[in-house]
A = this chain, B = another copy of it.
């Protein structure tokens, strides 16, 4: 029994290293395999919604869906067993997603029509971000993330102004064009305003009165100017974080305190002090 338990413990540990770890060859292989299965399951759910495909390959798709569901179920159970604190995993973000990914298929056995819910399996795609754990990408992601976080409050202020503007412009366009020209209500008018301001321009609703077209032209030129703002914010932030990163790698001169030496500098450019002594 003692040996049995130790064998089980050993197995548990090995399973843990394979499923949770990313440092061993087996761990990386399992991650890649899992990601492949997730991608496959998402593609399957997608294709299931395509009319022609579903009628042709219905049996095969259902078979594959069950295969994937069973694989995910086993993986889920192994994750619970192999970890030391199973509850922590079960109620973690990934734990809940992993559970949600398998539930719909089992539910579809009892309630018909719930197989479309397997769509939630797409949430497991979030695991794909793990691929980005390569140092090159991590650095870049962090850089991007920092710049976006730094520009957050500016962008909130900006979106706030834009949203209030859309309410105003939407109301005005509703009064000008009216329901007979497709601006059936103020919410619809606001939808049109957003479609126009963001330069998407579906054309499902478009002004037909001369005054409406005039105001629309004004809105478009405004949107043109407005698009410059978020771009400007993010660019300025990215450029800043670039230069501040550059600066932080510089070594200050102990003699005269000059700080902005280039990375290759051996002597201080201000007083000629040898920087390599420091």
Interface residues of A (CB under 8 A from B): 42, 45-47, 49-51, 116, 119, 122, 125-126, 128-129, 132, 136-137, 140-141, 143-144, 147-148, 153-160, 162, 164, 167-168, 171, 174-175, 179, 184-188, 190-191, 194-196, 198-204, 206, 208, 210, 213-214, 216-217, 220-221, 223-225, 227-240, 242-243, 257-272, 274-276
Contact = CB atoms under 8 A, between A and B. Distances in A.
A158 to B, nearest CB: 7
A198 B220 contact: yes
A274 B272 contact: yes
Most buried by B among A159, A224, A240, A272: A224
Given A202-B201, A229-B234, A272-B274, A187 B46 contact: yes
B258 A264 contact: yes
B260 A260 contact: no
A120 to B, nearest CB: 9
A1 to B, nearest CB: 48
A203 B202 CA distance: 4
A80 B101 CA distance: 60
A221 B236 contact: no
Nearest to A152: B140
A158 B148 CA distance: 12
A167 B140 CA distance: 23
A190 B217 CA distance: 9
A168 B46 CA distance: 11
16 contacts: A122-B168, A128-B164, A129-B164, A143-B154, A159-B221, A191-B214, A191-B217, A194-B220, A198-B221, A224-B227, A225-B230, A228-B234, A232-B239, A236-B239, A239-B240, A267-B272
A227 B188 CA distance: 25
A46 B185 contact: yes
A234 B239 CA distance: 10
A162 B170 CA distance: 25
Contacts of A185: 46, 49-51
A91 to B, nearest CB: 23
B259 A269 contact: no
Contacts of A258: 264
Contacts of A266: 269-272
B140 A186 contact: no
